[in-house]
A and B are shown apart, each in its own frame.
Chain A
Amino acid sequence: AQTVTQSQPEMSVQEAETVTLSCTYDTSESNYYLFWYKQPPSRQMILVIRQEAYKQQNATENRFSVNFQKAAKSFSLKISDSQLGDTAMYFCGGSGANNLFFGTGTRLTVIP
């Protein structure tokens, strides 16, 4: 079974500051992948970053990076130099045998 928990329903950050969104997961899979998706008001689901569980190195994509702690089953997302366009729902997800399980999401607001 796979579960994903996001304990922060809402967060806010000042423009240009850094914010970290938390995510923990549980899985019985030995080989799995972890993702962060962004859903702006347009409702489109956009892949932000992807982590292969067998890689120890944390993934980075421009201003987005993760802190992947496999033993603790933790996968947090750090957004640096926050921009107004980062305002969105952020979903943490983990891939199981055949599909992607999501957490309940964190609503992030970037304040000008």
Chain B
Amino acid sequence: DTAVSQTPKYLVTQMGNDKSIKCEQNLGHDTMYWYKQDSKKFLKIMFSYNNKELIINETVPNRFSPKSPDKAHLNLHINSLELGDSAVYFCASSQDRKGTYGYTFGSGTRLTVV
């Protein structure tokens, strides 16, 4: 059983399209996150939800919209995709907001915008 699962693993799409990435965790964790890893491997927080409530919304274009239907799911929708959105997107979860027991990551979604 995968603890944090993301779909799809790979996504190739044209500029201007709209796409979604889904994330689900079966760990019973309260907090979920989206991170973006750029081509230089730098990991940057994008959003964080705690029990379905948005608690972090970093400086991210409003073309990116997270949605958390319940605390086990955190999806990421991206409108009007641009070349610069190409990256690996990681979903993660933690038992609490401070990451007391660590963070569990999904396997990432490699998004390529052409």
Contacts and interface: CB of A to CB of B under 8 A. Distances in A.
A99 interface: yes
Contacts, number: 62
Contact of A35 (B31, B88, B103, B107): B103
A35 B94 CA distance: 13
B102 A104 contact: no
A31 B99 CA distance: 11
Nearest to A95: B99
Interface residues of B, number: 27
Nearest to A52: B100
Chain B binding surface SS class? strand
Q: What size tier do the contact residues of chain A reach?
A: 20 to 34
Given A102-B43, A105-B41, A105-B42, A97 B90 contact: no
Interface of A: 31-33, 35, 37, 39, 42-45, 47, 50, 89, 91, 95, 97-102, 104-105
Interface of B: 31, 33, 40-43, 45, 48, 50, 55-56, 88, 90, 92, 94, 97-105, 107-108, 110
